[in-house]
Amino acid sequence: MLDFDAAQAALLAAATPPKRTELLPPYAALHRVLAAHVTATIDLPPADNSAMDGYAVRHADLTEGGTLTLAHHAYAGDAGRALPPRAAARIFTGGLLPEGADTVVIQEDCVADNNEVRIQRVPALGANVRRRGEDVASGGPLLRAGTRLGPAELALLAAQGLNAVPVWPRVKVAVMTTGNELRQVGTPLSPGAIYDSNGPMLASALSQMGCDVVEVAHAPDELQVVMSTLGRLAGQADLVVSAGGVSVGDRDLVRPALEALGGKLDLWKVRMKPGKPVALGHVSGTPVVGLPGNPVSAYVVLAVLASPMIRRMQGREPTAPAIWSARLDTSQSLGGSREDFIRVQAQVRDHEWWLKPHAQQSSGVLSSVAWATGVARIPAGEKRGHGDRVAYYPFGLWLH
């Protein structure tokens, strides 16, 4: 069997990074991937301003209990004005610091009476002042290429006044499920049949990662149907993700279908549990990733094995999210001959992350995936018990 890390690297190597860019305004670029480094062109903030409501003063003029003359008001958006000696300017959050002022005394520490302000407590020099460029300095790096743009990143771009940003196109992905036993939701179940959960699961997971899911198709176990479905999907997508039909049984038809279309399929037995049969091939230059047909296995394999490949196709950096370290909360010894990816729920106790395994680790227990926050990895041939540290793959990061 192929080692898990080798299989992950092989999938990653098969990914072609994007080449064509698009220009989008920030409000339309949510979850897109930045295609170029962005350098700041203006300071943030663009000028010294107040971080609080209060009074702008010269620190040298302050004495506890002393009074200053009220010179003027400084509202956010107003042009700056000079501050006379021994004077204070009423200032509000975001207001430009008057020329000559170097400190803001918060209003709670002042008493205003007519045109005078009494200082009840003297703050430190420079208190409550946001300095020009202290957030972002002009000419410095703002965001790196490969960054997936969320609301915070888009706010940074908008704060620079950018009305268009270069992004990579969405990766178009098609999903194919296989199996005579599968029925579409909303249709009656005959004896021996089950509803297709892989289609909705994979489509939603890929959409969550920022892909454009162009079609979700089902192919029964008939060679000609699998061939025509694969050929159609490969013609309209950048990537085809299939579930089922990649083992070596009589009705596992993805490999012969792909070969009949002139492609080649590398079928692996990956040393991981759940999820052993994984396939990688191409149809007319479009990569095809074959996942196990078992929904639990398909979910885990997509999350921890195949998602770095998809991120590279999206132009994202890094291609692999962070792997956490946490302690097992278990009453039994865990681990086997393959890399074990145990479905766990992360909990915080005593300021540490603990991972509680689901009671049923069978690959047929679909509810365990909905319950789990991620998987704990236990190396092949090793055992881990209560309190032992393990690698933790949070689904929220690995399918994001």
Residue 51 CB contacts under 8 Å (≥ 6 apart), including other chains = 93, 104, 128, 129, 130
Assess whether 37 and 53 both reside in one domain. Answer: no
Kindly state whether residue 92 falls inside one of the protein's structural domains.
yes
Assess whether 366 and 259 both reside in one domain. Answer: no
Assess whether 295 and 189 both reside in one domain. Answer: yes
Decide if pLDDT at 130 tops 70.
Answer: yes
Kindly state whether residue 319 falls inside one of the protein's structural domains.
no
For the whole model, what pTM was predicted?
0.90
Give the end of a domain, one of 168, 192, 221. Answer: 168
Under 8 Å between Cβ of 50 and 74: yes
Rounded to whole angstroms, how far apart are CA atoms 269 and 276?
5
Tell me the per-residue pLDDT of 26-62, one tens digit each, with 9 for 90 and over.
999 999 999 999 999 999 999 999 999 999 999 999 9
Kindly state whether residue 212 falls inside one of the protein's structural domains.
yes
Domain count, the chain: 4
Assess whether 257 and 294 both reside in one domain. Answer: yes
Rounded to whole angstroms, how far apart are CA atoms 136 and 44?
5
Decide if pLDDT at 100 tops 90.
Answer: yes
Rounded to 10 degrees, the C-alpha dihedral 85/88/91/94 comes to 40
Q: Residue 75 belongs to what domain range?
A: 49-130
Kindly state whether residue 256 falls inside one of the protein's structural domains.
yes
- Per DSSP, the three-state class of 221 is coil
DSSP state of 381: T
Assess whether 159 and 201 both reside in one domain. Answer: no
Tell me the per-residue pLDDT of 142-159, one tens digit each, with 9 for 90 and over.
999 999 999 999 999 999
Assess whether 187 and 304 both reside in one domain. Answer: yes
Cα 386 from chain centre: 30
Look up the CATH number of the domain holding residue 381: 2.40.340.10
User: pLDDT at position 56, please?
Assistant: 98
Rounded to whole angstroms, how far apart are CA atoms 96 and 101?
10
Look up the CATH number of the domain holding residue 190: 3.40.980.10
Assess whether 200 and 257 both reside in one domain. Answer: yes
- Per DSSP, the three-state class of 240 is strand
Residue 367 CB contacts under 8 Å (≥ 6 apart), including other chains = none
Sign of CA dihedral 321, 322, 327, 332: positive
Look up the CATH number of the domain holding residue 160: 3.90.105.10
Assess whether 183 and 249 both reside in one domain. Answer: yes
Lowest mean pLDDT among 124-138, 261-275, 338-352: 261-275
Assess whether 190 and 243 both reside in one domain. Answer: yes
Assess whether 273 and 183 both reside in one domain. Answer: yes
Other CB atoms within a 10 A radius of the CB of residue 162 amount to 15
Nearest residue to 242 (alpha-carbon basis) of 325, 175, 182: 175
Assess whether 61 and 8 both reside in one domain. Answer: no
Decide if pLDDT at 240 tops 80.
Answer: yes
